[in-house]
Each structure stands twice: as structure tokens, then as C-alpha cells.
Amino acid sequence: MKFTLIKSATIVNEGQVFVGDVLIKDGRIERIDGSIGDPRGGCEIIDATGLHLLPGCIDDQVHFREPGLTHKGDLHTESRAAVAGGITSFMEMPNTVPNTLTQELLQLKYDLAAHKSPANYSFFMGVSNDNYDEVMRTDPEKVCGIKIFMGSSTGNMLVDDDHVLARIFANTSSLIATHCEDEATVRNNLAKAIAEKGASLTAADHPIIRSVEACYLSSSKAVALAQKHNTRLHILHISTAKELALFDNTRPLEQKRITSEACIHHLWFSDSDYATLGNLIKWNPAVKSAADRESILAAVLDNRIDVIATDHAPHTLGEKTKTYTEAPSGGPLVQHALLAMLEMHKQGKISLTDVVRKMSHDVARCFRLLERGFIREGYFADLVLVDLNKPTKVDRSNLLYKCGWSPFEGVKFGSTVVRTLVNGNTVWNDGRLVDPPSGMRLKFEKDR
């Protein structure tokens, strides 16, 4: 029997901020109170005076690159970076090599994570134009969802067959997560840009090529399908103000069938940053205007957008410094996502309770995650202690990403992740990783 007692923390949970103690027993939260004594000799006591205790962040969209792309990142390196950033659970995408298009390849990822990940984990099942039977074998109580790329992706994962889309939306009992960009629009925009500019294309052209209209056409199509078939749909990485009209904030999240996500880069950067950062902020969908960015934040705050995630997608610096048309899209974010949102809190843009709600509580609600995402008695002790008064300077020397770079290099955040606990075990403490793989497979409530 193992006890850990967190003393005198400023607890941020379910809309409240209060000072209290949290007792952990065998990986679960045993008791939350104003003052708890040592339940027995030998209990580990963590003095959290002056620190804020948050439920661990749950990232519903990461690309950890294993198998097949491990020169960019892998389950071990990227999950370690995640816990260093206060992310205690992740859901990983299927565009690895080979693409995760069979149940056997999906199980391989779970087997790898069980030995490598200090964070809790789940993996999306991938969809192609020709793996319907495999997709239908997905167990929604053991798998976070199925992923449909309604825009270009790695390998054989663009789903552009309307019959296949309709069949899956009509028949799956799993949550469908979609990447929404209209492929024909993107291709036409790219051809036009090449004809006009040729080799002089830069990352500043990215939001014109992967345009507002490309996003809206695809997102509206996905929403129409979900409405027709009463499907649980989650649209990833909203990047435009125009798409926000597709989402509802008049009902509680638990009653929604259609939900959406904002990502850190779309909340932090704008198209003015391409001049200095170039391909380092080349993502799909593209980082767009400051007006889009501010509209996305407003939608996070008024609950048209339900959760905040990273879309962590590392590439090597050599790959990112190629020409615009050759450089891949994506970048590393898990180590600094919470710090970025805490910085936005310090800037007065979002409350601390809303940071916790959008990065923990509402991710758990959206995915119907069992016994995680809250500081509640009986729940797993996935927790993060942060110091809101201790700055963190992002420097290449302190990055844990395998790719070795960050779009935040040189930024000085006003907060620090002091300690991260996963299932009651400390995995990050005072700038050091504590390495036993204590992550567990996530479990989900059955669709109602």
C-alpha cells in the first residue's frame, strides 16, 4: 500500500480555487480536504505551499511518430516531453508508417506504449477508402475514436469517397475525429500559387493555399453527415472564424454530438509570425489571421469550441528548413502547451479555471473518459503542480523533443511545471524526469 500526501496546494478544479491537501493511495485520490495528517508512517509528503495543483492535461491530438517515423520522435521521447509539460494522458493519431489501418497495427501501438510511456495513452484507429471492416471492429470502450483525414495525409489515409464516408458516419459507434480541409480546393490553390510565384513561394503563402474556404467546405460537410446520421463527431484544430458558426454552445458538453478543438498554435501565432518563423509554424490547417486567432479564443471561452490540444507533430530541423513546398507541416508542442496557456492567463485572456476546464475536464467529458480529468476522490491521481511565479525560458538545451527544436525557442514563460504525477507516481520533478513507465491504457464510457 502506497500513500502520497500533497500538502497546502492551491487546488484548481471544477471552477473553484482553494487551498487544501490531497491524499493519494495506490495511484488514486483517496481524500481531498483542508488539512490531512499523515495516515501512516512512511507516507511521502509533498509540500505544495505556494504552488497550484491542477488535474493533468489530456491531449486529444498528438503525432508521436512510432512506428516508422522515429527519426522525428517516438513514444518514449515524446511522452517524456509531454509529462514534463504537465500532460498526463494523450491520444495519438494513425498516420504513422505503416498507417494504423488494421486492428493488429493498432494493438502494436498499445503494446509499444505499455513499455515506453510515462503518460497514459490511447490511439485512434485510422480510416482509408478501403478498410471499412477493420474500422467497424474498433471497440469504443477501449479506443478513443476513429480518425478520418478529409484532407491530404501520410500514405493511404485521405478519405475522399463519399460512399465510404456516409457508410462510416451511419454505422460506427465510435467517436469520429476529422481533419477537415477540402482536398480539391487546396490542390487548386496550390496550382494557382505555383503558376503565379513558382519557386518564390514561402510559408506566408500557406494560409492562402490551405484557405479559409478549404476548411469551411470540409468542416461543413462533416457536420452535415454527423447531423444526418446522429454521429459523434469531433472536428480537430479549428483554424478559421468562419467555421465557428457550425458549432453549438446552447447545450452542456455531455449532450453534444458534435464537438470541436482549438490548438495551441492557432491560439498563439498568426500570419504575421511567418516573417520570422517561416516553416517552423507551417501546420495543416494553416495558422491564419490575427482576427481568426481572436475569434477562436472567443469561441473557446463561450464553449463553441470544447477543448484545447496541441497537434504535436515533430519533424527534424533539416526537414523544416527545406523550401516551402518541400518542408512538411507540423511542429513539436507538448512540452510547452500548458505553459503557453498559463501565459495567456497571465495576460488576462483566459481564467485559470478555464485553462483547466479546456485542457482537462472538458477533454474527459468530450471523450467520455473514465475516472480521469478531475481532482476527485476515487479518480486516478493524474496531477500537475505549477509555480505561477517561476519563469521558464525555452532554450534548445532544455528541450526534450527528439527533433531538438521548438517554435517557442527564446520565449520566456512566466510559469514552470514543477511536478507531474501519473497514476500517483511522480514522473517529472523539479526539472528532472523520473523514468519508470507508469502510464496506463485509457478507458472510455460506452456511447449513450
Is the domain of 354 the same as that of 413? no
Is the domain of 202 the same as that of 163? yes
Is the domain of 32 the same as that of 62? no
Of 309, 303, 301, give the one whose Cα is nearest residue 259.
Answer: 303
Model confidence at 36, pLDDT cuts 50, 70, 90, reads confident
Residue 26: give the domain boundaries.
Answer: 3-53+375-433
Q: For residue 77, what are the CA distances in angstroms to 30, 99, 115, 116, 119? A: 31, 20, 12, 9, 11
Set of cell numbers at residue 161: 469517397
Q: Tell me: the pLDDT tens digits for 290-348?
A: 999 999 999 999 999 999 999 999 999 999 999 999 999 999 999 999 999 999 999 99
Does some domain include residue 429? yes
How many Cβ atoms from other residues are within 10 Å of residue 382's Cβ? 32
Residue 447 pLDDT more than 80? no
Is the domain of 16 the same as that of 133? no
Domain CATH for 424: 2.30.40.10
Is the domain of 97 the same as that of 48? no
Q: What is the average per-residue pLDDT within 201-212?
A: 98
The pLDDT, as a whole number, for residue 146 is 98
Is the domain of 181 the same as that of 86? yes
Is the domain of 389 the same as that of 301? no
Is the domain of 407 the same as that of 297? no
The answer to whether the CB of 17 falls within 8 A of the CB of 10 is: yes
Domain boundary among 324, 349, 367: 367
Model confidence at 153, pLDDT cuts 50, 70, 90, reads low
DSSP strand E in 382-423: where? Answer: 383-387, 392-393, 412-413, 416-422
* Number of domains present in the structure of the chain: 2
Of 242, 202, 201, 196, give the one whose Cα is nearest residue 219.
Answer: 242
Domain CATH for 80: 3.20.20.140
Q: Tell me: the pLDDT tens digits for 222-251?
A: 999 999 999 999 999 999 999 999 999 999
Is the domain of 320 the same as that of 280? yes
Residue 156 pLDDT more than 80? no
Is the domain of 322 the same as that of 349? yes
Is the domain of 61 the same as that of 72? yes
Among the residue ranges 157-166, 232-241, 398-407, the one predicted with the least confidence is: 157-166
pTM: 0.97
Is the domain of 107 the same as that of 39? no
